[in-house]
């Protein structure tokens, strides 16, 4: 199976440096994010997607809808693709990093999940994908989720190195998932 994994386009919360894992918040693609998604859509216009899967957060759907203009497929939401539940909704990202600095892999703050909790959720999604019949899929998610995809598919990345992986807005990677 070919799996194209993409991070969503730039958002207003990216510009403000704020955490977001609540799909009810008014987080949306900026003009830059729309342009990024349009560029990715152009690059992926000939990909033979059979299915598009996004997280419950609207920015992934907005990105997928732009890419999907060339494919006209239903867009499916999968809860396991949601961004990490930081416990710092609408608060500055540096404050979140400061709060978990004592144990970046295992710290859970304000009822959120740890990086390793999030990793296990994304790995559960990958296991679910293995049972799907499609040959080519597009998955639109978040940088934290992309880090897990990169580590899983590219290998040789320790959990302690996950935060060192940086994935730009609308950056995508194609992987082969063996069932």
Whether the Cβ atoms of residue 64 and residue 94 lie closer than 8 Å to each other:
no
Q: List Cβ<8 Å contacts ≥24 apart for 46-51.
A: 47/4, 47/71, 47/136, 47/138, 48/135, 48/136, 49/4, 49/73, 49/136, 49/137, 49/138, 50/134, 50/135, 50/136, 50/137, 51/76, 51/132, 51/134, 51/137, 51/138
Give CA–CA dist 137/179, Å, rounded.
14
CATH architecture observed for domain 2-176 = 3-Layer(aba) Sandwich (3.40)
Q: Hey, where are the domains in the chain?
A: 2-176
Give the residue ranges of the annotated binding site for substrate. 7-14, 59
Q: pLDDT at position 179, please?
A: 80
**How many other C-beta atoms lie within 10 A of the C-beta of residue 127?**
10
Give the residue ranges of the annotated binding site. 7-14, 59
Q: pLDDT at position 89, please?
A: 97
Q: Per-block average pLDDT, block size 10, for the chain (179 residues)?
A: 97 98 96 98 97 98 98 97 97 97 96 97 97 95 97 95 95 94
Give CA–CA dist 52/61, Å, rounded.
10
């Amino acid at each position: 199976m070919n799996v194209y994994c993409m991070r969503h386009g730039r958002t207003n919360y990216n510009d403000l440096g704020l955490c977001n894992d609540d799909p009810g918040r008014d987080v949306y693609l900026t003009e830059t994010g729309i342009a990024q998604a349009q560029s990715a859509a152009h690059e992926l216009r000939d990909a033979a997607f059979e299915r598009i899967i996004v997280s419950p957060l609207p920015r992934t759907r907005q990105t997928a809808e732009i890419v999907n203009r060339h494919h006209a497929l239903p867009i499916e939401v999968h809860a396991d693709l949601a961004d990490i539940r930081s416990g710092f909704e609408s608060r500055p990202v540096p404050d979140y990093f400061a709060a978990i600095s004592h144990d970046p892999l295992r710290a859970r703050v304000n009822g959120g999940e740890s990086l390793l909790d999030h990793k296990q959720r994304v790995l559960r999604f990958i296991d679910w994908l293995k049972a799907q019949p499609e040959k080519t899929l597009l998955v639109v998610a978040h940088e934290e989720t992309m880090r897990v995809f990169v580590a899983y598919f590219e290998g040789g990345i320790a959990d302690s190195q996950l935060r060192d992986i940086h994935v730009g807005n609308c950056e995508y990677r194609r992987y082969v998932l063996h069932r």
